[in-house]
Amino acid sequence: MQRKDRLERYRGVRARLDPSGDPLAAMAASYVEFPRSVSSRITAELALSPASSHLLIGGVGSGKTTELLAVQTQLAEIDEDIRGLYLDVSKQHDIARMVPGAIIVQVGLALAGALGNDPALEFATKQLDELAHGYWAAYELDEGGDDYRVPGILISPEQVEDNVQRALAPLEQLIAALHKTHSHLVVLLDGLDRMTDMAAFDQLVSHDIKAMVGIGIGVVLVGPLRALYGLDRTMAQRFDSLHYQPWVDVTQNPDAHAFLADVLKRRVPGDVFGEGGIETLVAASGGVVRDLLTLAQSACVEAYIDGADQVGPAEVAAAIDTFGRKHLQGLRPPELDILQRVRTTGSFLHTSEDDLALLMTRRVLEYRDGGPVRYAVHPTIERLLAELGDR
């Protein structure tokens, strides 16, 4: 293969394997539904109770965004009277500064965009836009002075409880307009799983989510993994249902292995990976979709550097080794001790911040495939940990 042809080949493949790419495009091109998926259960519950609230929890890279988009698609297929609205709330606002009212404002603006240019909704849309981004206001006549800037809620709001009420009123006008064509609205909120301030997350649930459910909006919210553990698990009680999107156990579940192999095959031409390459990558991913795509990307880079026309065993092995070494860097001796215990005994108790950190960074994987919960270290670091243990 000529150098230019090889470049174009691997450039195209790498783009299709990008785990941070447009989820809508990936959904349309290569979605594979896992049997008895979380999305099918959430869709069923929303069909029966459109104004219910749902918390979706899962590890990084487990496919939560894909499941949200699947819910949106399935709702449209089941009941045309339900409007599903997907929204990544981290796209317009720094999630480290989330405050009550920030979600409602974004839902309102997204709904206004979905409803189109309706003159009757201009005032409500303008209100939401001003709340979101701020506006210039004039002093009263007796105060004098120049105009002053009122900050937007997505920048630095001050009266957070008032923001909820201010944002809710125009949203209700938009909901009334929606009801001319759809009886129900379900908002699918992505991005909040990246929040590290659990007190701020609790504030959003207590104010924004509660207020939206109160006016009849169904909510599916992707939350932080730590909301499943420790004292933070009480937050799940604020929702009607809790759903867990697990990593799939490719070691003990043949269906899970076939599912991830299909995910990869749908993204790349059949001749990109040599014999056994896809199976090796699936096993090394530990059942984490994002890691599978990252490993496949890295293997393609190795093949391009080597001047190979196809990704072979050497390139796959190099990608796995690089990924594993990266995930062992910076770990302290107590963390390595925990990983060695998980590797050798499968025992893992998530009682400390170190334990939770290993779980949330996917160094420890938790499998809940219907049977007893099983823990394992990520396959890419298993061999490296064994080498450290032998020293």
Handedness of CA 56, 58, 61, 63 (dihedral sign): negative
**Within the chain, where are the H helices?**
3-16, 23-30, 38-48, 64-78, 102-115, 122-133, 160-178, 198-204, 210-214, 254-265, 277-285, 289-306, 313-328, 333-345, 353-360, 379-390
Sheet with strand 82-88: strands edge to edge? 82-88, 184-190, 218-222, 53-58, 241-245
Residue 255's SS3 state is: helix
pLDDT string in tens for the chain (391-residue length): 677 888 888 899 888 888 766 666 666 666 667 667 889 999 999 999 999 999 998 877 778 888 899 999 999 999 999 999 999 888 877 777 778 888 899 999 999 999 987 888 998 998 898 888 787 777 665 555 666 677 777 643 334 466 787 888 899 999 999 999 999 999 999 988 888 788 888 888 888 888 899 899 999 999 888 787 766 677 778 898 888 887 889 988 888 899 899 989 988 888 899 889 999 999 999 999 889 999 999 999 999 999 999 999 999 999 999 999 999 988 999 999 999 999 999 998 877 778 888 988 899 998 887 678 899 999 999 999 999 876 6
CA distance 276 to 278: 6
CA–CA separation, 388 vs 158, rounded Å? 52
Contact (Cβ atoms closer than 8 angstroms) between residue 297 and residue 265: no
Q: Give kind and range of the element (H or E) at residue 245.
A: strand 241-245
Q: How far apart, in whole angstroms, are the C-alpha atoms of residue 287 and residue 302?
A: 22
* pLDDT score recorded for residue 30: 62
Rounded to whole angstroms, the Cα distance separating 109 from 83 reads 15
- What is the DSSP code (8-state) at residue 352? S
Running DSSP on this structure, what letter comes out for residue 188? Answer: E
Confidence at residue 344, expressed as pLDDT on a 0 to 100 scale: 93
What are the pLDDT digits (tens) for 45-89? 999 999 999 999 887 777 888 889 999 999 999 999 999 999 988
> Using the 8-state DSSP alphabet, how is residue 300 labeled?
H
Count other Cβ atoms within 10 Å, centred on residue 271: 10
- Return the closest-CA partner of residue 72 out of 106, 28, 108: 28
Question: Residue 84 corresponds to which tokens in the numbers above?
Answer: 């599903």
The pLDDT assigned to 376 comes to 94
Q: What is the number of other CB atoms lying within 10 angstroms of the CB of residue 24?
A: 12
For residue 244, which amino acid is it? Y
CB 235 within 8 Å of CB 205: yes
193, 375, 380, 363: which is closest to 296 by C-alpha? Answer: 380
Residue 85's contacts (CB-CB under 8 Å, 6 or more residues apart) are 72, 107, 110, 111, 114, 185, 186, 187, 188
Q: Which two tokens stand for residue 155?
A: 């920048």
Query: What residue has token string 């550097």?
Result: 305
Q: Which of 177, 175, 227 is nearest to 197 (CA)?
A: 227
The secondary element (H helix, E strand) that includes residue 246 is none
Count of Cβ atoms closer than 10 Å to residue 4 Cβ: 8
Three-class SS of residue 148? strand
8 Å CB contact between 342 and 364: yes
Q: For the chain, which domains are there?
A: 3-19+249-328 (1.10.8), 35-245 (3.40.50.300), 333-390 (no CATH)
Long-range contact pairs involving 88-93 (C-beta distance under 8 Å, separation at least 24): 88/190, 88/191, 89/189, 89/190, 89/191, 89/192, 90/190, 90/191, 90/192, 90/194, 91/191, 92/132, 92/154, 93/154
Q: Is 120 exposed, middle or buried (0-12, 13-18, 19+ CB in 10 A)?
A: exposed
How far apart CA 139 and CA 142 sit, in angstroms, is: 8
